[in-house]
Amino acid sequence: MATVTFDNATRLYPGTDKPAVDKLNIQIADGEFLVLVGPSGCGKSTSLRMLAGLEDVNSGRILIGDRDVTDVPPKDRDIAMVFQNYALYPHMTVADNMGFALKIAGVSKEERAQRVREAAKLLDLEQYLDRKPKALSGGQRQRVAMGRAIVRNPQVFLMDEPLSNLDAKLRVQTRTQIASLTRRLGVTTVYVTHDQVEAMTMGDRVAVLKDGLLQQVDTPRNLYDKPQNVFVAGFIGSPAMNLLELPEVDNGVQFGGTVYPVARDVLAEASGNTVTLGVRPEDLESAPQGEGLAVEVDVVEELGADAYIYGHTNLNGQSHDIVARTDGRRPPMKGDTVWVRPQQGHVHLFDTKSGARLG
């Protein structure tokens, strides 16, 4: 078990002038499950590969525990890449499939057997140890593959989109299994995904990256409730937060026909005459006609108890998409116009120029 530290870790690919990962600083606690998330090209996989030793670190350091591993070869870092390869060997028993890498590493027969038994217990595979993989179901086979990583007793598990080749149902089940298993084992885990739902449901903390820069590392709750900038605000949450550039007025922000009150000292932090106001779909409430924004309904997505309205509004002569949650029993119809305004205390304000959170 160990902590993991990215200390100003930077990766610059030869022939490029913009780092793929730029001065990354993250401290991962012993036993923590940290998720790296972001869109394609954000640097999340590169960061993981730097930790694995597959990418050179051009400046800064990477530590596992107190040990600086920046220049240590991958196999000597005491890490396990999970699901890298889960082909199972047909003639070997489940126990041998789980323990063969230990044999290669010269671990004694007794110790191998013991570690395999322990892992099998955790994975609910004890009764299958003497069988051949063919006798296992798909889910069990995947657990055998996981067992291969567990028996090595690594300090850190690294997982790079391990669920990307599973169908939706198996994906959700395996997601839960991985999260609970790593917590039971107490092994520090770094997990990469492009899927923010996966990130939010699995991580103790989630690090959001964009263009090689860490945007925010925080608990899923804080990322959702207190995004530090416009990017995180828009990236985390589904459907995404509504983000609108609105003019400042005395004591607040002009939200269509309404003034949304904002403390003067918060407004004073803004660099221009407008601010970017973010409001989640569930934080928009219906307003009397003429108040807030008029939203023309394009699509209604009914989910039973709730419904989502996908519509558009006109602000300063420009059309903006708006998503709002509404009561599922009385949803509006396509083509209707509804009036919405933010609930008090449920908006996020950002500097329009820098994107940073205000207040």
Partner 1 sequence: MNGAKWQDEPTDYEMLGKLPRKEPLPEPPPQNVMGSLSITAAAADPELLDLPWHIALEQWPEEYLAALPRGISRHIVRFAKLGGSVIAVKETGEHIARHEYHMLRRLQRLDVPCVEPVAVIRDRQTPDGKPLDPVLVTRHLKFSLPYRALFSQMLRKDTLTRLIDAQALLLVRLHLIGFYWGDVSLSNTLFRRDAGAFAAYLVDAETGELYPDLSTGQREYDLEIARVNIAGELMDLLDGGLIDAEVDPVATSERIMDSYRNLWAELTEKESFELGERWRVSARIRRLNELGFDVEEYAIKTTPDGSTIQLQPKVVDAGHHQRRLLRLTGLDAQENQARRLLNDMDSFRADNFPDQDEEIAAHAWVSQVFEPIVRAIPRELSGKLEPAEVVHQVLEHRWYMSEKLDRHVPLAETLQSYIDTVLRHRRDEAAIMLNPDTQTLKLIEADAAREDDDFDDELANDDEAADDDQLAGPEATPRAR
Interface with partner 1 in residues 2-61 (CB under 8 A): 13-15, 20, 40-41, 45-46, 49, 52-56
How many alpha carbons fall within 13 Å on the CB side of residue 156?
29
316 binds partner 1 (CB under 8 A): no
Return the number of the residue (163 or 279) whose C-beta is nearest partner 1: 163
196 binds partner 1 (CB under 8 A): no
Cβ 81 to partner 1 shortest distance, Å = 8
Return the number of the residue (138 or 335) whose C-beta is nearest partner 1: 138
Q: Which residues contact 252 (CB under 8 A, 6 or more apart)?
A: 259, 260, 261, 262, 267
Interface with partner 1 in residues 68-107 (CB under 8 A): 73-75, 84-92, 96, 100-101, 103-104
Cβ 251 to partner 1 shortest distance, Å = 43
272 binds partner 1 (CB under 8 A): no
Cβ 71 to partner 1 shortest distance, Å = 9
Residue span binding partner 1 (CB under 8 A) among the ranges 129-137, 291-299, 313-321, 337-345: 129-137
Round to whole Å and give the CA distance between 85 and 69. 24
Q: Is the peptide bond before 239 cis (omega within 30 degrees of 0)?
A: yes
Return the number of the residue (123 or 244) whose C-beta is nearest partner 1: 123
Q: Which residue matches tokens 């601010």?
A: 275
- Give the torsion sign (CA, 262, 265, 269, 273): positive
Return the number of the residue (91 or 221) whose C-beta is nearest partner 1: 91
With CB under 8 A, what is the number of residues at the site for partner 1? 52
Cβ 50 to partner 1 shortest distance, Å = 9
CB 32 within 8 A of CB 204: yes
Return the number of the residue (83 or 339) whose C-beta is nearest partner 1: 83
Count of beta carbons in the 10 Å neighbourhood of residue 59 = 14
Kindly write out the interface string for residues 143-182 of this chain, putting x where it contacts partner 1 by CB under 8 A and - elsewhere.
Answer: ---------------------xxxx--x--x---------
Cβ 113 to partner 1 shortest distance, Å = 16
> Contact residues for partner 1 (CB under 8 A)?
13-15, 20, 40-41, 45-46, 49, 52-56, 73-75, 84-92, 96, 100-101, 103-104, 127-128, 131-142, 164-167, 170, 173, 194
